[in-house]
Every structure is written in structure tokens, then in C-alpha cells.
Structure 1
């Protein structure tokens, strides 16, 4: 059994905690990002396809009046879990393309023969410019920033106590932003270096952030998927 600190946003962290308990581990949840939904109205369209690259975008749709109309549009998701969340929300036609945005673009390049009008629901902070990449291929993408993520300023008291007592074996990092927030909450390089924990990261990029932030025991998943990340524990 490992004592595992989960740093991803709360809704997703709760799902991860359930998976960890299933594997016999002890989870501690302390989100390094708080997801805040925006209330701006969505454009009317019409659209040929809806694109989501994060489950947070779907969570932001959950209580919107526009959900019923959008659920009739074919949806393209990045990641198996995001695709499953879309189906649970009532989307009937869901296609999961790749494990990241690069995988989605590669699939679109090969499979979308005609120009499409796409509605892309995303966060305010993004690591890639998906609309620009698809525009080069002749597709017209309308971007709507449906949520924003605020970095945590400090650890929760129970997390601070657990880290100080050496009661955390593993920290899971899912993005560069959550890794940055963790480093800041730990007090910077010196604070991170003083923690005797393993830092397991969803990607090489996230692992590089943790190494630069002072972490010594760092590994990253073979694929940017949670199953591959949890397998490292």
C-alpha cells in the first residue's frame, strides 16, 4: 500500500481517489487547481462537431441550458475518461481521438476530408493552440473558454501535516500548472528537495517541471493516460 497525494482538480481527483482505493492505496486529495466555471452564453452555431480536451469543460456544461442542444452534435474528446464523461452527460455520438491534443490533430489530419465547423470548449489556460492547428487544415474552429483554473496558494492543513510527518509516499502530478502550484506551495526548490517522496507525472513535460523545481525522485508515464500513471506506483 502506498500513501498517495492527488493534486488534480477536485472532481477528477475524487475519481482518482476511488481508483487508488481499488488498488489498495491510501489517497489524500489536495487540488492544486480550483476550477471556476464561466457563465457566458455559447454561440448558436451551427456546428458539425464539438471538441473537448478536458473533463472540466464537460463539467462546466452539466448545469447549462445549452446542454440538450449540444448533446445532439457529434463530440470529439481527448482521452478515454473524457469520452466516458461525455457519454454519461448524454452525448450519443462520441469519438475519442488520441491521448493528447497532438493525437487529435494527427487523427483529424488523416480522417477529416471535408472542412468542418467545430465548437471547441476549453479552459482559459491552454498548452497548445488547437484552433490554429486545425485552421491550417481548412477547418473553422470557434473557441469558447468555458472555465478557468486558479492555482492553489498553499497546501491544505492535512496535506502540510502529512508531508511534514513523512506520511506521503507518492505525489501524482497531472499538468505543468499543477506541478508549478505544488512547487510554490512546498516553498520552492528547497522545500521540494526536502520532501522524501516519489513524484509521478502524466508526461515528460510535467516531469521536467518537477525536476527543475527541485524534485529528485521523478518518473513519468509511458503514455499520457491515468492507467499508465497509476501503474508506476
Structure 2
């Protein structure tokens, strides 16, 4: 049986990494980044801070020279990819979580923390005694669905969704172009992403863990 085509929408450099991993798994993967990551001007806030809360590797790729002011502050990263980017930028990583930042925030001792984030981000609910200063350092600039991607979406396929912003934008673009949802299967990195994609798709499933490896394992099952 010929596997369904897999469409990867995440921005670079993650798109290429996911496609390479998908190809190793025998999937017919296609790259169509729907976003371009760009730096946003920001000013370093006054500390001191007990730790940096980092929910994306893009913080360290696009944060700019202002990051150097916080090199002595340990990083609490949302996952292994973010931790790797932090270390590559010269930061020490004190914690690597999974399943989003909120579970990490719930375990924080009282103190003052710096959250570096993108424009599209989940609202965090800290426990008593935890203060979080948030600075936006990057933005995901959306792109329209290309004619090549639109043609591919006319057949049955599986689409990977790595973020809530991607889910919203992809759904809006399908609506704008009149692309039928009942031929498109969605593989989502987290439950929030699935909810933001809306209804009417052929199927929506969520990875068991919030990692690219688990998302691709789900895609293998959905493409067969």
C-alpha cells in the first residue's frame, strides 16, 4: 500500500530536520513552510532573575545581542531542542521539561523569572510567589498556501501541525481557498493545537508526547 503524502508546515530550520527524519522513516514528505521566523526589537529588562523560561529554540536563534546580558542566568527549557539551542548560544541549562512550559512553571519555587517568547504564546499561570517578566523576541510571519501546496491538498494527505498559530493559519487558508477538509488528516503536537485547528477534517490525532519523534511516529501510523 502506498503511504499517504506527509506535509510539513513548520518554519525552517525545523522543517528540513523534520523532513529528513520523516524520509528516514519511509514517508513521502513534502516541505511547505507557512511561516518565516523574524527577530522582534526588544529591550533587556531589569533583573535579577532566578531563571530564563524558554519555550522555543527560536529565542536563542533570533534573540539578538540583548541575550548576552543574561548569559549567567540558567535556562529552563521546554524540551531537548530548545535546550540544545540554549547551550549552543552559551547558556547553561538547569531544567529540560516536556509538555509545554506550564508544567514547569507549576513547580517553580518563589522568585523572579524571565520568560523570553514569541508573539504567539500560551498564557502561563504561575503559583503564589512566582513573578514572571515576559519579553517578546521573535515573531512568526505567515505565508499564504502556495499553488503547489494547494494542489497537493486536493488529494488525501496527512499534515503535521507543530503550533497553535500554524493550526489557525492553515485552517484559515484552507477556508480562503475552498480546500475541502474531509480529505486532510491532521497530526498535532499537542491538544491545544488540535483544538485550534477546528472541525471538519478527515481525522485529528495528537502525539502521545510533545516531541518531534512522537509526532512522526503518529504520522507513520496515519500515513499507512
Would the TM-score normalized by the shorter structure come out above 0.5?
Answer: yes
Q: 1:18 to 1:72 in 2, by over 3 A?
A: farther
SS in 2 for 1:10: coil
Asked if 1:75 corresponds to 2:75, the answer is yes
- Kept in 2, the 8 Å contact 1:183–1:189? The answer is no
Structure 2 partner of 1:27 = 29
Q: TM-score, normalised by structure 2?
A: 0.84
Distance verdict in 2 for CA 1:189–1:107, change over 3 Å? farther
Give the Cα–Cα distance (whole angstroms) in 1 for the partners of residues 65 and 177 of structure 2. 45
The 5 Å alignment of 1:176-187 reads: 176-187=164-175
What corresponds to 1:66 in structure 2? 66
Q: Secondary structure at the match of 1:19?
A: helix
Distance 1:40 1:161 in 2: 40
Counterpart position of 1:14:
16
Q: Is residue 202 of structure 1 aligned with residue 189 of structure 2?
A: yes
Question: 1:228 and 2:214 equivalent?
Answer: yes
- The CA deviation string for residues 63-122 of structure 1, in whole angstroms up to 9 with x for no partner, is x223334232110011222112212222233411232122212332xxx2xx32211101
In 2, Cα distance between equivalents of 1:193 and 1:44: 48
Alignment root-mean-square deviation, CA: 2.3
Alpha carbons 2:6, 2:30 under 8 Å: kept: yes
Deviation of 1:2 after TM superposition, in Å, equals 4.9
Aligned counterpart, 1:216: 202
- C-alpha distance after superposition, 1:197-219 (max 9, x if no partner): 3211112232233352x202221
Gaps of at least 5 residues in structure 2 are none
Name the structure 2 match of 1:155: 145
Matched, 1:123 2:118: yes
**How many angstroms apart in 1 are the aligned matches of 2:149 and 2:94?**
37
- Quick one: which of 133, 142, 157 aligns to 2:133? 142
Relative to structure 1, the CA distance from residue 204 to residue 142 in structure 2 (aligned partners, 3 Å threshold; closer, same or farther) is: closer
Give the number of aligned pairs: 217
Structure 1 moving runs of 4+ over 4 Å: none
